[in-house]
Amino acid sequence: QVQLVESGGGSVQAGGSLKLSCAASRMTNCMGWFRQAPGKDYEGVARITTSGFPFHSGTVKGRFTISRDNAKNTLYLQMNSLKPEDEAMYYCVSRAGRYCTGEPVDFAYWGQGTQVTVS
């Protein structure tokens, strides 16, 4: 089992920054972030392997940076240049196995989510 607890969400003006954190009971090889805006599907934001190899979606690449601290069992998402379109519930996720791709259903473990509001 893996328990994930997000923190760091909040309200920020467009152009501002936030850093999300995810405290994990156990780190898997593949961890990342999904988000869901009202009326929209879950969207993969970013993911990262144990070795630190990152993937970022095209919508956030260049603005968001995913990272992890394996010693602290913590996953991060630094979000810069936030846009109103980034407003969503952000979920920390974890996938079992050696690969680090997939749809939401492929990620077995989810946090409760943290809300990001951009005005």
- Asked whether the beta carbons of 100 and 49 are under 8 A apart, the reply is yes
pLDDT tens sequence across 25-73: 999 999 999 999 999 999 999 999 999 999 999 999 999 999 999 999 9
Q: For strand 43-49 and strand 109-110, is the pairing parallel, antiparallel, or unpaired?
A: unpaired
Confidence of residue 105 (pLDDT cuts 50, 70, 90): very high
Q: For strand 43-49 and strand 18-24, is the pairing parallel, antiparallel, or unpaired?
A: unpaired
